[in-house]
Structure 1
Amino acid sequence: MRKQTLPALCCLLAALAFTSCNRNSNKQDVVQPNAVSAEVLAQIKANGFSTDHVIKTDEGYLVEGDILLTESQLKEKVSSPVLRVANTEQYRTNLLVTSLPRVIKIKVTGLGNAFIDGCDTAINRYNNLALRMTFQRVTSGAADITIQGFNQGPSGGYITLGSSGFPTNTGNPYATIKMNTNQYAYGSNPNVLYVGSVIQHEIGHCIGMRHTDYMDRSYSCGGSPVDEGQSTIGAVLIPGTPDTADPNSWMLACSNGGNRTFNSNDIIALKYLYQ
Structure 2
Amino acid sequence: MKNFNFLTLSALCFSIVFTTSCKNNNTESITPETKTEISASTLAKIKSLGFSVDQARKVEGGYLVENDILLTDANLTETSNSTNLNIAETEQYRTTNTVKSLPRIITVSVTNLPQVYSDAVNTMISRYNSLGLRITFQRASGTAKGSIDVIGFNEGPSGGYITLGSAGFPTSSGNPYSQIKMNTNAAAYGTNPNLLYLASVLQHEVGHCIGFRHTDYMNRAYSCGGAASNEGASNVGAVRIPGTPSTADAESFMLACSNGGNRTFNSNDIIAVNYLYK
- For the aligned pair, the TM-score class normalised by the smaller chain equals 0.7 to 0.9
Contact 1:103 / 1:135 at 8 angstroms: preserved in 2? yes
Post-superposition Cα deviations, 1:218-267, rounded to whole Å, max 9, x if no partner, equal 0000011111233224653513x432221100011112100000111100
Specify the alignment match of 2:149 in structure 1. 146
Local SS of the residue matching 1:159: coil
How far residue 47 of structure 1 moved from its aligned partner, in angstroms, is 0.3
For residues 231 and 142 of structure 1, the distance between their equivalents in structure 2, rounded to whole angstroms, comes to 34
For residues 40 and 86 of structure 2, the distance between their equivalents in structure 1, rounded to whole angstroms, comes to 29
Gap change, CA 1:119 and 1:7, over 3 Å in 2: farther
1:133 to 113, 132, 135: 135
Specify the alignment match of 2:264 in structure 1. 261
Post-superposition Cα deviations, 1:142-172, rounded to whole Å, max 9, x if no partner, equal 4101001001111232111111101111111
2:252 to 249, 261, 267: 249
For residues 106 and 207 of structure 2, the distance between their equivalents in structure 1, rounded to whole angstroms, comes to 13
For residues 196 and 126 of structure 1, the distance between their equivalents in structure 2, rounded to whole angstroms, comes to 11
1:236 partnered with 2:240: yes
Local SS of the residue matching 1:200: helix
Post-superposition Cα deviations, 1:86-125, rounded to whole Å, max 9, x if no partner, equal 9633111011000000110000111111101110111000
Contact 2:105 / 2:136 at 8 angstroms: preserved in 1? yes
Matches within 5 A, 1:33-48: 35-48=37-50
1:155 partnered with 2:158: yes
1:92 partnered with 2:94: yes
1:177 to 166, 175, 180: 180
For residues 172 and 206 of structure 2, the distance between their equivalents in structure 1, rounded to whole angstroms, comes to 17
For residues 242 and 91 of structure 1, the distance between their equivalents in structure 2, rounded to whole angstroms, comes to 11
Specify the alignment match of 2:121 in structure 1. 119
TM value normalised by structure 1: 0.87
How far residue 178 of structure 1 moved from its aligned partner, in angstroms, is 0.5
Post-superposition Cα deviations, 1:1-38, rounded to whole Å, max 9, x if no partner, equal 34688673531111xxxxxx359xxxxx9x77762221
2:64 to 62, 65, 73: 62
Contact 2:105 / 2:137 at 8 angstroms: preserved in 1? yes
Contact 1:123 / 1:136 at 8 angstroms: preserved in 2? yes
Matches within 5 A, 1:183-198: 183-198=186-201
Unpaired stretches in structure 1, ≥5 consecutive residues: 15-20, 24-28
TM value normalised by structure 2: 0.86
Specify the alignment match of 2:3 in structure 1. none
For residues 175 and 86 of structure 2, the distance between their equivalents in structure 1, rounded to whole angstroms, comes to 20
User: Aligned partner of 1:153: which letter?
Assistant: G
1:10 partnered with 2:21: no
Contact 2:69 / 2:168 at 8 angstroms: preserved in 1? yes
Local SS of the residue matching 1:135: strand
Post-superposition Cα deviations, 1:55-104, rounded to whole Å, max 9, x if no partner, equal 111211000000001112112224534699x9633111011000000110
For residues 60 and 11 of structure 1, the distance between their equivalents in structure 2, rounded to whole angstroms, comes to 25
1:211 partnered with 2:214: yes
Q: CA RMSD in A?
A: 2.4
Gap change, CA 1:135 and 1:217, over 3 Å in 2: same
Specify the alignment match of 2:14 in structure 1. none
Contact 2:99 / 2:170 at 8 angstroms: preserved in 1? yes
Percent identity for Structure 1 against Structure 2: 55
Contact 2:148 / 2:178 at 8 angstroms: preserved in 1? yes
